[in-house]
Structure 1
Amino acid sequence: MKFLTSIILTLFAISAFAQPGAGGPDAAYVKTNYTKYEYQIPMRDGKKLFTSVYVPKDQSKKYPFMMDRTCYSVAPYGPDAYKPSIGPNAQFMQDGYIFVYQDVRGRWMSEGIYEEMTPELEEHKTNKDVDEGTDTYDTIDWLLKNVANNNGKVGVWGISYPGFYTTTALLSRHPALVAASPQAPIADLWRDDAWHNGAFFLAANFGFYPGFTNRQDDKPTQRRGARFNPNAGSEDGYNFFLKMGSMRNTNVKYFKDTIRLWNEMMDHPDYDQHWKDRNVLIHLHDIKTATLVTGGWYDAEDLYGAINTYKVLAAKNPNTPIYFAMGPWVHGGWARGTGDHLGDVDFGGETAPFYRDNIEFAFFSHYLKGTPFNMPKVTTFETGVNQWRTYNIWPPAPAKEKNLYFLPGGKLSFTAPASVKSTFNEFVSDPANPVPYYAKPTMDMERDYMTADQRFLADRKDVITYQTDVLTSDVTLAGNIWANLKVSTTGTDADWVVKVIDVYPDSAQNNKFTTKDVKMACYQQMVRSESMRGKYRTGFDKPSAFVPGKVSPVNFELQDILHTFKKGHRIMVQVQSSWFPLIDRNTQQFQDIMKAKDTDFKKATHRIYTSKNNLSFLKVRVL
């Protein structure tokens, strides 16, 4: 299944679960039980934001608001055109809420100029000092005064970009906002979604931005951006992007400098002030609203956003109810479907309905309607053993830091190497033959790459493997993982990709989701992975060149997991220097890669050191 197609459907219609015109029992229920209104709600600076409001026809009681602010359109437009489903899930629709959908500033039918991840302001001294927080405040204030039969309480939810707008809703600090659920929220676009430690996520973004860019001016429109497919008729994304050449060719050959948001990314490869202004995490203090942060362990889009939004909220707002839910899901996977598997990996049952019924609905129902509630602060799914776990805080307090060392001979161990003799693994990285991230990459990011079998790389000489002996007892990792590498290169820049893999025993049996021609015996399931553009090893805002041949530390976070490597399995770590076309290719020269020419790509020889004097290891938390 093509990841981007799924994501575009999700993002453009996550609040409705379907596009306009869809039928079914939910659609009939909405029309029978709700009346739709459309408003242009004025903001403090005079701009008006287009807002659709669905009000229960039964006016015998008062209802709380449930609001979704989105850059993906509140369509369908027109008072007689109804969404086929409303609310986070069907339980909300049937229980009765006033549902509010709003096109954010500068998008679709709302006025203003759109800013990607609008910079938030700490102070608002005049009516011209506006951001998503003030827009949310003004919207809530207007709704309370102009929509009849409300109970004075507001909840906000949203997934992905709407998750970001849910986070910024917290910054409105409106007293009526009593509950919010940022789900897979973008938190820091440079670190979170488009860029991963400076490496650009090419496959995920190349086809996305043309469709995302429905307008670049202050003229409201219902027009959608055109889905860009320069490779119609071919699914070979690896060869397409290889033939495309350098990143500057995205404009030279295709976009022609017509997409402002794309150009902003190409013009800001470093973590400069442009991106620092768009990091919403630094503003998450003095929050009084009960918050449920939701994410998926296999969210290829905004894993960082969910985990770090929770961690910052919990740390900076100790007296506020902050909840955290993480399941074995892809981006938005909890909102639809069953969540019973990803690719070949079986999660032992349906996990998404459990979240929708017992966590999401229970949370909002309690804070907006006063229903009983007794939910742990942290509810997470432990992959590997397929069990839900609850904790008071994340990461769990009992998890203790340990190091997993890379040893000579491809060994991996919790015991450090004893020899001071210089040992290393050496390989040639050739940008003309980059390591594929998936067995058969298409034009879009594959939604199951994060659990995919890594045996397709067995013959690659530019993928270095370390693994433990067969485990004699279960090993559970809970919390973030840090790669601590000692490396050298003959070039002046290099990418480093680290993957943590669960190697199944040869006795492992196929399950009902196992793909044809795949055997789960000796399966190499990727559990966590991350990339790092080496020139940012000393600071994301201050790139620095490698000195050829000099040993250098490269340290970066792989983000959190809760996974048990079962007795009889092995833990494997793979290190490589390309991951194509998931991330763009590094020229392996110290330069602005976004502006590089096709002739700038050079081969380089890389080393990973494994001796006592130059330790390479993963810092993990063992539960």
Structure 2
Amino acid sequence: MSRTALIRTLVFILFVLPLWANAQDDDILKKLEEIAIIDQKVMMPMRDGVRLATDIYRPKTDKPVPIIFSRTPYNFNSWGDGKQRTRTAQRAYEAVKRGYAYVVQNERGRYYSEGEWDILGVPLTDGYDAFSWMKAQSWSNGRIGTYGCSSTAEWQMAVAALDHPAHFAMVPQGFGAGVGQIGDITEQGNWYRGGVEQMLFFSWLYGVEHDKFKPRIPAGATQEDLIRISRFYDLAPENPPVDMAEALKHLPIQDILVNINGKREIFDKMIRRKPNDPAWYEGGLYHDTMDINTPGFWFASWYDVSITPNLALFNYVRSNSKDAAIRDNQYLVIAPTLHCAYTRATENTIVGERPVGDARLNYDEQIYAWWDMWLKGEETGFKANTPRVQYYTMGSNKWQAAEQWPPADAKMTTFYLNSGGKANTLNGDGVLTTKKPRKDNPDTFIYDPMDPVMSYGGNVCCTGNAVKGGAYDQQSMEENPNILVYTSEVLTEDTEVTGFIESTLYVSSDAKDTDFTIKIIDVYPDGRAYNLDETIQRARYREGYDKEVFMEDGEVYELKLTPMATSNLFKKGHRIRIEVSSSNFPRFARNLNTGGNNYDESEGVVATNSIHHSSKYPSHIKLPIRK
């Protein structure tokens, strides 16, 4: 590039592009002002007197209208700069032009909302009280739909279980951190997987929490005062940038936030909670003891942090809601994207570094047909035109439809792990076969917590620069002798795997406690090995999360891991592979192998771990194969 061209490029980036972006922001705000009655910083009262800051955008009409409600811990101040401002205005504009009021509200303790914040906006009654307030407004037709992704979705399920008469429908997207316990899956809001801490919240809390000495607006401030003040004070924290790849290495893990000068009160109490701690059942998480009585249009992603719990919740509501009409009004979309990245699918979608084709979908059209049906009472043809489950199959790179999840024609096929005892690395002798092995030639590897297997790609969210999300070629990782690699023969025909993937390992260790990880991979003819999903299990919780049972040297134990999930066409000429190890860091916290608390320990124990495979110890996975 010439010097002149370089200068022109820099001028464009530094001066023209920001002006263009601001013009785009101003344009959507002007368009919104033309069609909407805008009522900002409405302080909606809760039953305990705390007031929540709320912005209301509604059509210029005297007729009552339905409401699309978004409650969030994130900043939506329309006087600030940045993507959130534009996103809120765009969503409000799309709703208002279609005849809806769009109401966005901060959880208590966030930005201009009063009270103290906790994850998922405890108390749960805040959502119920907001519904009651909106239903009573003269401009409301009494029908409310809840909408949002990630932290703007996660509170919806537990509130839906309160069965407010105005809550007519919901669209939760990327909602996994609202899932506590569903059957045998005990995630506790994505804090755990298989009894192991998922480190995403370590990073997320640093980025979003406001300091305890943050500026506070005096109680009782008027709406006029708040609107004026919001033009000057956005209240958005800007924490110093942190290298999370380094920060998450700190031990003990209970001191990670204090080590980077983060706010730690919420983290301090959560890091000490075990998977079955009663505190998980007192807040805003949804558990399978609750009955959802609200129609739901659910959105999930193959490379989200909690794809399996998300799908398990959809199935649970479809099978267990007490009302048959509610069971029949649950719909699901599964996209081949990262967390909350549905609309980023393009004509040539790339997730991580794997191209997966044209993954676009008419999201807005479907969502508003859903709203029109439930909130306006119109006959939109949604149920006639929308499949129960829409899922994207990678490999074949196409959208497919089914009446249930998994599709009814997906049949479980067992693949056994086998080797001559040297499955270490992709150059070892590990195989994945439909024939049950006879003789036990266990594969042994070393797990040193101070030198863990690092995360590379995967089903992640919110870890800053610590983990790349999506599909990445795992071949370089598979050179590690502490990763066991089991690969099928070359496939002689296309093989579609769609559904939950079950894993059972027979393990032994010379440590009291350790972890075991598993990852499923699509191996291309040229050797590229793209990860599809992954999971982990802490051995002490192999008999349930209400007790800890430690290992004894020389004993072999059965471990059933939390299911994985995918839809992938393994093409003819490809191979199916799984990796087994004992760490996937920093996606998951390291087990220090001591049998202690782990969260307050700095010194680890090196473990010698083994995977057994024989007629007595048939380590295996079960794949849902569609013919």
Give the TM-score normalised by structure 1: 0.83
Give matches, 1:187-198, under 5 Å: 187-188=178-179, 190-198=187-195
Match of 1:145 in 2: 136
| 1:468 paired residue among 488, 509, 518 | 488
Task: State the one-letter code of the partner of 2:600.
Answer: K
Q: Structure 1 147/21 Cα, relative in aligned 2: closer, same or farther at 3 Å?
A: farther
Report the Cα offset of residue 306 of structure 1: 2.4
Report the Cα offset of residue 303 of structure 1: 2.3
Give matches, 1:450-465, under 5 Å: 450-465=470-485
Deviates more, 1:524-533 or 1:471-480: 471-480
Q: SS of the residue aligned with 1:319?
A: helix
Q: Structure 1 90/451 Cα, relative in aligned 2: closer, same or farther at 3 Å?
A: farther
Give matches, 1:218-233, under 5 Å: 223-231=235-243
Deviation by residue 1:249-273 (Cα, 9 ceiling, x = unmatched)? 42563348x5111112221144311
Deviation by residue 1:186-230 (Cα, 9 ceiling, x = unmatched)? 23364442322222223x233321222125599956533443534
Match of 2:331 in 1: 323
Match of 1:10 in 2: none
| 1:407 paired residue among 404, 418, 439 | 418
Q: Structure 1 252/215 Cα, relative in aligned 2: closer, same or farther at 3 Å?
A: closer
Task: State the one-letter code of the partner of 1:380.
Answer: Y
Equivalents in 2 of 1:88, 1:465: separation in Å? 47
Deviation by residue 1:445-472 (Cα, 9 ceiling, x = unmatched)? 5675341111121320000000100011
Match of 2:571 in 1: 566
Alpha-carbon contact 1:187-1:309 (below 8 Å) kept: no
Match of 1:53 in 2: 56
Report the Cα offset of residue 241 of structure 1: 4.2
Equivalents in 2 of 1:251, 1:156: separation in Å? 33
Alpha-carbon contact 1:452-1:525 (below 8 Å) kept: yes
Match of 1:268 in 2: 273
Give the TM-score normalised by structure 2: 0.82
Match of 2:499 in 1: 479
| 1:361 paired residue among 345, 363, 368 | 368
Report the Cα offset of residue 105 of structure 1: 2.5
Equivalents in 2 of 1:379, 1:47: separation in Å? 41
Q: SS of the residue aligned with 1:458?
A: helix
Q: Structure 1 191/368 Cα, relative in aligned 2: closer, same or farther at 3 Å?
A: same
Give matches, 1:60-139, under 5 Å: 61-76=63-78, 85-86=88-89, 88=91, 91-117=94-120, 131-132=123-124, 134-139=125-130
Report the Cα offset of residue 70 of structure 1: 0.9
Task: State the one-letter code of the partner of 1:145.
Answer: A
| 1:423 paired residue among 434, 441, 459 | 441
Alpha-carbon contact 2:179-2:310 (below 8 Å) kept: no
Q: SS of the residue aligned with 1:364?
A: helix
Q: Structure 1 291/20 Cα, relative in aligned 2: closer, same or farther at 3 Å?
A: farther
| 2:152 paired residue among 162, 173, 189 | 162
User: What is the number of equivalent residue pairs in this alignment?
Assistant: 559
Match of 1:184 in 2: 174
Match of 1:205 in 2: 201
Q: SS of the residue aligned with 2:74?
A: coil
Task: State the one-letter code of the partner of 1:115.
Answer: D
Q: Structure 1 88/305 Cα, relative in aligned 2: closer, same or farther at 3 Å?
A: farther
Deviation by residue 1:595-616 (Cα, 9 ceiling, x = unmatched)? 112xx21211110011111111
Deviation by residue 1:505-529 (Cα, 9 ceiling, x = unmatched)? 12xxxxxxxxxxxxxxx21010111
Match of 1:618 in 2: 621
Equivalents in 2 of 1:555, 1:192: separation in Å? 21
Q: SS of the residue aligned with 1:308?
A: helix
Whether 2:553 is the aligned partner of 1:585: answer: no
Alpha-carbon contact 2:28-2:86 (below 8 Å) kept: no
Match of 1:6 in 2: none
Q: SS of the residue aligned with 1:207?
A: helix
Match of 2:381 in 1: 372
Report the Cα offset of residue 501 of structure 1: 0.1
Whether 2:374 is the aligned partner of 1:349: answer: no
Report the Cα offset of residue 426 of structure 1: 0.7
Higher relative contact order (CA 8 A, sep 6+): 1
Equivalents in 1 of 2:257, 2:369: separation in Å? 48
Q: Structure 1 219/212 Cα, relative in aligned 2: closer, same or farther at 3 Å?
A: same
| 1:493 paired residue among 499, 513, 521 | 513
Equivalents in 2 of 1:541, 1:255: separation in Å? 34
Report the Cα offset of residue 549 of structure 1: 2.3
Equivalents in 2 of 1:82, 1:545: separation in Å? 51
Deviates more, 1:421-430 or 1:30-39: 30-39
Alpha-carbon contact 2:247-2:256 (below 8 Å) kept: no
Whether 2:342 is the aligned partner of 1:310: answer: no
Report the Cα offset of residue 33 of structure 1: 1.9
Match of 1:36 in 2: 38
Alpha-carbon contact 2:57-2:96 (below 8 Å) kept: no
Task: State the one-letter code of the partner of 1:306.
Answer: N
Q: Structure 1 24/399 Cα, relative in aligned 2: closer, same or farther at 3 Å?
A: farther
Alpha-carbon contact 1:86-1:99 (below 8 Å) kept: no
Equivalents in 1 of 2:431, 2:454: separation in Å? 24
Match of 2:253 in 1: 247
Report the Cα offset of residue 390 of structure 1: 1.2
Equivalents in 1 of 2:468, 2:612: separation in Å? 31
Deviates more, 1:216-225 or 1:480-489: 216-225
Alpha-carbon contact 1:184-1:294 (below 8 Å) kept: yes
Deviation by residue 1:299-348 (Cα, 9 ceiling, x = unmatched)? 12x32442233122111224211111111111111145638221222221
Alpha-carbon contact 1:26-1:85 (below 8 Å) kept: no
Q: SS of the residue aligned with 1:451?
A: coil
* Consecutive unaligned residues in structure 2, runs of 5 or more: 1-20, 181-186, 218-233, 420-428
